[in-house]
């Protein structure tokens, strides 16, 4: 979607400066025993999936303020995703959401992606909204879906998930992410134990329909849209459920779905140890499920998460292969800019985690040399790996400065001419 | 809206039981030095305003699931409000929200209210949404309203607030509540100090237009819709702003707008001491601005708030006259039922606070007899004042059991026949 | 420890009033389909253990302000515990803490308890402090105990726990509660996965030494004394560990050991469903592990916990038999008064949970009649069960008004004459 | 305390590498329009005070695990502080705490400091502990100090603060920091409004005794040691109090004294705007008042605080001159190492804030170019300013690698031979 010549020309202007910064960093890392080329190669091999819904402007229950050129459908969205991948070379896959992205011709969708250089990651089902236009959805999810007291509603929700698997197969996905809004707003509204049992039973049915090699991701969340209790409210419930559902069930960690103060990197370690770490929805947050750009609020936390991931990989935990995906809501920025930036910040955390001197860290941990252990880890974070990230992009034909090239390209202006202005509002969901 | 005979007939069936419970409680309170009749009289004089928007089903950014018979406009809403007042005699006033409730004939609206036995409380402005249909609103509030960097947007927002005052005058209101969504989602997006200065300047302009006897309520909130910073984020900023804006400016406390763990009753005491406690938006919450039914999650906290209010009243703080309003979002219940229940729970907390033995409490506090002080306060809370609340309703011609009478009345079914089914959805504001 | 005649005389003066209140409540409950006598009987059978350390004045890292008559040793503590049981008949068991309560003659300790009418509950080990006076404790727990990197420290900690079991056997206990302070203060200090593995291995060794019929309670805590990470930080880790350790391992829930906003009653339901709910440390908190008196901050939460317990019992979950214990720190009250009050508040929550109309609740939950479900549950909480609690005490020979009788008895004054004034301070642990 | 030759020799070995890194950074910053020398000069002029109590090992209510060579008294502490300043040249002042640091010969103390190259910052009073050894402290602070219900206790607390001022004058301090533990553990224990009034009245008395040019710092804290309410619980109460107390009263911000999720940098902006920002107690925290090393948990937050400070300075707010002090508890590290590291991290945040391109930031903020505003700010944070910090130290004769020089010096081992082993424990304040 972005002219390669434009990228190349821009890179050419910045190449010398990048080379200088890169070489200086190479020397510094070399003194610290780190070969910069191995880090750069690892970053080049790294990718994080983009959520199809992330290229549209998000909103809150109070309002939504769309920007120019909002994508009208999945084909528009794919084009926006391709822009992100063209400029960052960090987002090779797109995660679809049904029914939002469902089209008659799913094979054609797959081809459209391929033509744009995009593959497809885990697909997402949706039983947190009603689907009034869909004759297969006559029943409402107002009081729950997979955990509903009415078996007919549960059955409808199971069938929707099964359909999502089918649709996902057609585009080459190999995982289904299930996030439900089921829960309660009042003490007494729901019976905790029974709701959980019903959820597990429904998910076992979905699990039974998984194709060979597929994974089933369970996404927990402490609250919202339910405000007193949520059926899968934390990683403990998620793990209990995954173990009960079956071997393909894995737990997905969204960084914004936890109680205040919770140590998320420790949860990552626990789920990895349990053999059930499925993957991530990356974003950042200050208060709740704020869905802000990855690394924008607490970049050290993001680094600490990747520290666990790199460590788990290094220890060779059996079956350790978490899926990485962005899941954000862009309310005040151009979504393409936010997703490019976020993908780079995720890669930054990964690069920083890679340069941790793990032999020293191990040694200091074993010896309870707290200060040196802490400094060994922190030193990787204070290192400015920007040149590594830029060099990795440049080597893959993407932009040294993706944001500048994107703005110069006029892409947003062009699509705004084609795509009609979206309606804002939000109207009274207060 | 509810047949008085229906209420009377239902009350007649429950009167004897109520009398028995009431008498038993009267005896018990008498032993504790409390005259039940004085409490009942105070409860009869108590009222809390109902928000016009509260009679519609709320929602989250994920979805909205409307119920049958959703009100179409302010006249429908007034009828629903009248049902609440008919059955509880606790909600004599309605709080309007503009532009949602704006009509050509505001005088007619006032008359409609009067005919239904309803008066009008503080009016609310709305600059957290765009008003695309309004030619006086050509500019977007996407990046702020009263604190926007662009003076033209600020001016538009000021004019909207001035219009709200004008509309409010026509229905006999005497206060304007200003809640803005202004803030930022990224560190760096906004300049904290300048945004605050612009807000104060805009509000000074609004203040300058207040009619004699009016109050201006500032509503603070820690986050949402802005997820990194909010211009009026807490009571400290609210008080600073109120003092800078002018003498009619007062701080409004919404129980769900605080950081986790915060001691809200202490904030009430502080604002009362500062002479700037404007009033309340009552609701309950477990996680954030959950907008759940008053007293449904932490009834003791609601009691502790009223303990401060009754105490402040007793000490005769100059100008102490806070406004009480419900502000909730009813996502899974019939809004009329939730508002009736919530009004009763607010009255319950008030009644409990009234039976605190304040002479003993004072004495134990002075003597640092911590245990007796705590028990003196707690004893009022553990007392079941249900008979007092029911008796107060019955004496005012309202229902001993409002919920049962409401359901038996068939009101919801009847309006559902008249009012068309509302569209649900929520569509992608994720 | 308290003269039975004194209690009887005091009760005699209050009997008529209690009878009047009790009868009035009986009539009301009867109308609601509840037989008060069955509730009273259940309350009479209910007991919660008192922690031996709870009868001393607690403190913070900043200071400790002892009161008069602080117990000098476990025998003094037992006497204080007997006062609590004499007056409330709700605390028949004492929970010991080693090495604090270790004496040469453990058989004598058992006899002392029996003579005072007291039995012994779960015993507690202590590896969060060093034991400089104990030759079996040459190594420091500064950097951990059961999860320490040094196998010698782990071995020392295991042996201490094995000793605790032995000591517990001598007094008739049948459970060991293990709470450790192990964790880290800096990112990088500890390797999360390895620390957990070491903990599990150590606990497996302890588990191997459990006598027939004993349980091993794992107590999780989100933070403090470690401020970045804790080895058993939440119920998820606790459950993972319990499952790895062995069948006798169960999870213990302390109400103050969770992240802000967490729904604790749901955790209770989950652990019950997993068959690993071991028991409770009751207390209350507003901010963290505040260790305040049970029910003093959020009494509705305590009720909701008991609602789960009564429900689990009713559903007949296999092996469901949680242990109940108070665990509080009394910094500004007479500990005896706080423990009496807390035991009564725990019993209050139990009694309220017993009068929930569960058939109606089930029905409303199944029908998604959210409002009636919520009201059915809440109605039990707003009921003033004070007369039931008082009657249960009176029938067991304890006091209708334990606090008044305690104060009139002069017990504190008497022991203050015998027991030397304790040193306060706190000195610099800031 | 540390041999200058040792420092110089170590620096000599690292100078070439530092120069290379510094030059590379200089080039990069130059391209970004930043003159590295101006940043280095500003860092050289920067200092943060060290708390005298910070050089001892801290602890929790559960235990304290002292390390070797704990300082016995203020003279030992001064030596430890001198080590920190010798090696970092970032901590030229020491903050004293009375009565802990009170000596007969305060003039001699001043001279000792001068001989070690140390001056004295704000002094701290202590009315959160009893002073049993002090005949001027016959009364207990168990139930409060400056806000106590008993005027005699308040008077005693006022006199202690007046004495602290006197002691501070002798060592050249010019500010008094007042942090009190006053508050309550139970709803009902304290009367919020009266306690606040008593506090203000007491502080007015202290304020009246301030010498010319002195400031009075009020330190707020949300909880601990009081667990239900605190008299000065947040910045709003602190500001209200400061305004009532007098012109020299200013608000001091401790980074760990806030509710979860609170935006502290915004509080900094508000207090600066109110002209009452007194200064800081720097530390870091994940859960509460964890008192961890500055920048160890959320380094981006520390940067954002300094971003406000640099911005306020640049805007030339009248009287803007906040005091900077560390206030931490070192439980598992050598306190000297933690304080050196923390001082450097504070300087790091300052240096990063200095390289923010403020002209661009202003422009993007005004234009609501959210992404570029955010990136402009963030780019300063991702920059590795380590070479600037090291160069600033080297130029002042301090160590390029303070930790390595400290360890090589054998200082801790030497003082451990002189200073007797400290007693650990913690004994039962649970």
d(CA B64, nearest CA chain A) in Å: 7
Instruction: Report the C-alpha gap between C154 and C143 in whole angstroms.
Output: 11
C193: three-class secondary structure by DSSP: helix
Q: What is the mean pLDDT of residues A146-163?
A: 98
For chain B, how are helix, strand and coil distributed in percent, rounded to 5? 50, 10, 40
List, in sequence order, the alpha helices (H) in D32-150. 36-44, 74-88, 106-115
DSSP A97: B
Interface test with D, best of A374, A379, A408 (most D CBs within 10 A): A374
Residues of chain A contacting C265 with CB distance shorter than 8 Å: 187, 192
Instruction: Report the C-alpha gap between D213 and D211 in whole angstroms.
Output: 6
Whether the CB-CB separation of B58 and B330 falls below 8 Å is answered with: yes
Q: What is the mean pLDDT of residues C87-112?
A: 97
Instruction: Report the C-alpha gap between C116 and D41 in whole angstroms.
Output: 74
Whether the CB-CB separation of C305 and C294 falls below 8 Å is answered with: no
Q: What is the mean pLDDT of residues C416-428?
A: 79
Q: What is the pLDDT of residue D424?
A: 73
Longest dimension (CA), chain B: 66
For the complex shown, is ipTM > 0.95?
yes
Please state the φ and ψ torsions of residue C277, each to the nearest 5 degrees.
Answer: -80, 110
Q: What separation, in Å, do the N-terminal and C-terminal C-alpha atoms of chain B show?
A: 39
Residues of chain C contacting A364 with CB distance shorter than 8 Å: 188
Q: What is the pLDDT of residue C422?
A: 87
Q: What is the mean pLDDT of residues A135-153?
A: 97
Whether the CB-CB separation of B162 and B197 falls below 8 Å is answered with: no
State both tokens at D408.
Answer: 């090589």
B86 closest CA partner among B179, B1, B181 = B1
Cross-chain Cβ contact C331/D225 below 8 Å? yes
- What Rg value do the Cα atoms of chain A yield, rounded? 22
E strand or H helix at D94: strand D93-95
Residues of chain D contacting A403 with CB distance shorter than 8 Å: 371-372, 375
Interface test with A, best of B52, B58, B63 (most A CBs within 10 A): B63
Task: Give the contacts of C103 (CB within 8 A, at least 6 positions apart).
Answer: C73, C74, C109
Instruction: Report the C-alpha gap between D327 and D346 in whole angstroms.
Output: 12
Q: What is the mean pLDDT of residues A330-354?
A: 98
Residue A426 vs residue C66, higher pLDDT: C66
DSSP D225: S
Cis peptide bond prior to B430, omega within 30° of 0? no
Residue range C354-393, pLDDT digits in tens: 999 999 999 999 999 999 999 999 999 999 999 999 999 9
Residue A355, Cα to own-chain centre: how many angstroms? 23
D333: nearest CB among A31, A260, A371: A371
Residue range C107-121, pLDDT digits in tens: 999 999 999 999 999
Cross-chain Cβ contact A129/B426 below 8 Å? yes
Whether the CB-CB separation of D204 and B202 falls below 8 Å is answered with: no
pLDDT bracket for residue B423 (50, 70, 90): confident
The chain D residue lying nearest B184, using CA atoms, is D370
Residues on A contacting D at a C-beta cutoff of 8 Å: 17, 20-21, 24-25, 27-28, 31, 260-261, 263, 286-287, 293, 296-301, 332-334, 337-338, 341, 348, 368, 370-372, 374-375, 378, 381-384, 386, 403
State both tokens at D254.
Answer: 């401790």
Residue range D330-346, pLDDT digits in tens: 999 999 999 999 999 99
Cβ neighbours around D11 below 10 Å, total: 19
Q: What is the pLDDT of residue D426?
A: 58
Instruction: Report the C-alpha gap between A254 and A269 in whole angstroms.
Output: 14
The chain A residue lying nearest C257, using CA atoms, is A262
Q: What is the pLDDT of residue B428?
A: 46
Spell out the per-residue pLDDT of chain D, length 430, in tens.
Answer: 999 999 999 999 999 999 999 999 999 999 999 999 999 999 999 999 999 999 999 999 999 999 999 999 999 999 999 999 999 999 999 999 999 999 999 999 999 999 999 999 999 999 999 999 899 999 999 999 999 999 999 999 999 999 999 999 999 999 999 999 999 999 999 999 999 999 999 999 999 999 999 999 999 999 999 999 999 999 999 999 999 999 999 999 999 999 999 999 999 999 999 999 999 999 999 999 999 999 999 999 999 999 999 999 999 988 899 999 999 999 999 999 999 999 999 999 999 999 999 999 999 999 999 999 999 999 999 999 999 999 999 999 999 999 999 999 999 999 999 999 987 765 445 5
Cross-chain Cβ contact C260/A258 below 8 Å? no
d(CA C18, nearest CA chain A) in Å: 31
- What Rg value do the Cα atoms of chain C yield, rounded? 22
d(CA C287, nearest CA chain A) in Å: 12
Kindly compute the dihedral angle of the four CA atoms of residues D144, D145, D148, D152, in this order, to the nearest 10 degrees: 140
State both tokens at D154.
Answer: 């308040």
Q: What is the pLDDT of residue A255?
A: 98
pLDDT bracket for residue C313 (50, 70, 90): very high
Angle made by CA atoms D22, D25, D27, in degrees to the nearest 5: 110
Interface test with A, best of D84, D371, D372, D375 (most A CBs within 10 A): D371
Write the DSSP assignment of A251-294 as a string of letters: EEEETTSS-TT--HHHHHHHHHHTT-EEEEEE-B-SSSS--BPT
Residue range B39-82, pLDDT digits in tens: 999 999 999 999 999 999 999 999 999 999 999 999 999 999 99
Exposed (0-12), middle (13-18) or buried (19+): which is A237, by Cβ within 10 Å? buried
Residue range B166-217, pLDDT digits in tens: 999 999 999 999 999 999 999 999 999 999 999 999 999 999 999 999 999 9
Structural domains present in chain C: 4-418 (3.20.20.150)
Neighbours of chain C (3+ CB pairs under 8 A): A, B, D
Q: What separation, in Å, do the N-terminal and C-terminal C-alpha atoms of chain D show?
A: 39
E strands, B263-369, in order: 277-282, 323-326
E strand or H helix at D254: strand D249-254
C269: nearest CB among A193, A261, A377: A193
Residue range C161-216, pLDDT digits in tens: 999 999 999 999 999 999 999 999 999 999 999 999 999 999 999 999 999 999 99
Pairing mode, strands A229-230 and A183-184: antiparallel
DSSP C6: H
Whether the CB-CB separation of D262 and B259 falls below 8 Å is answered with: yes
Instruction: Report the C-alpha gap between C112 and C176 in whole angstroms.
Output: 21
Instruction: Report the C-alpha gap between A66 and A330 in whole angstroms.
Output: 10
Q: What is the mean pLDDT of residues C230-255?
A: 98
Cross-chain Cβ contact C286/D424 below 8 Å? no
Instruction: Report the C-alpha gap between A90 and A399 in whole angstroms.
Output: 11
Residue range B70-119, pLDDT digits in tens: 999 999 999 999 999 999 999 999 999 999 999 999 999 999 999 999 99
Interface test with C, best of D145, D187, D332 (most C CBs within 10 A): D332
State both tokens at C246.
Answer: 């062995």
Cβ neighbours around B421 below 10 Å, total: 11
């Amino acid at each position: 979607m972005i002219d390669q010549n434009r990228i190349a020309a821009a890179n050419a202007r910045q190449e010398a400066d990048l080379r200088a910064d890169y070489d200086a960093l190479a020397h510094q890392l070399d003194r610290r025993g780190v070969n910069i080329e191995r880090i750069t190669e690892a970053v080049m091999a790294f990718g994080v999936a983009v959520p199809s819904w992330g290229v549209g402007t998000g909103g809150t229950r109070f309002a939504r303020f769309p920007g120019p050129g909002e994508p009208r459908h999945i084909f528009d969205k794919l084009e926006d995703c391709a822009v992100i991948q063209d400029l960052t070379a960090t987002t090779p896959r797109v995660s679809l959401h049904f029914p939002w992205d469902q089209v008659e011709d799913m094979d054609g969708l797959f081809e459209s992606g391929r033509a744009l250089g995009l593959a497809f990651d885990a697909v997402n089902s949706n039983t947190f909204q009603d689907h009034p236009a869909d004759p297969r959805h006559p029943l409402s999810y107002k009081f729950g879906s997979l955990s509903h007291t009415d078996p007919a509603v549960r059955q409808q929700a199971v069938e929707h998930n099964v359909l999502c698997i089918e649709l996902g197969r057609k585009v080459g996905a190999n995982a289904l992410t299930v996030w439900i809004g089921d829960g309660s707003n009042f003490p007494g509204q729901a019976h905790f134990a029974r709701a959980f049992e019903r959820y597990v039973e429904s998910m076992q049915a979905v699990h039974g329909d998984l194709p060979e090699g597929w994974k089933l991701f369970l996404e927990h969340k402490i609250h919202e849209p339910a405000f007193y209790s949520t059926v899968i409210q934390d990683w403990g419930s998620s793990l209990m459920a995954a173990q009960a559902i079956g071997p393909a069930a894995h737990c997905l960690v969204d960084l914004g779905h936890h109680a205040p103060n919770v140590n998320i990197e420790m949860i990552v370690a626990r789920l990895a140890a349990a053999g059930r770490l499925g993957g991530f929805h990356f974003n950042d947050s200050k208060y709740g499920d704020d869905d802000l750009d990855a690394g924008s609020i607490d970049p050290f936390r993001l680094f600490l998460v990747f520290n666990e991931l790199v460590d788990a990989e290094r220890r060779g935990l059996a079956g350790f292969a978490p899926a990485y995906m962005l899941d954000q809501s862009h309310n005040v920025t151009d979504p393409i800019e936010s997703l490019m930036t976020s993908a780079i910040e995720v890669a930054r955390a990964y690069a920083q985690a890679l340069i941790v001197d793990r032999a020293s860290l191990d040694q200091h941990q074993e010896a309870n040399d707290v200060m040196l252990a802490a400094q060994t880890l922190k030193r990787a974070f204070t290192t400015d790996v920007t040149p590594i990230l830029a060099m990795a992009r440049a080597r893959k034909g993407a932009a040294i400065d993706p944001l500048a090239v994107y703005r110069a390209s006029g892409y947003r202006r062009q699509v705004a001419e084609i795509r009609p202005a979206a309606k804002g509002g939000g109207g009274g969901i207060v």
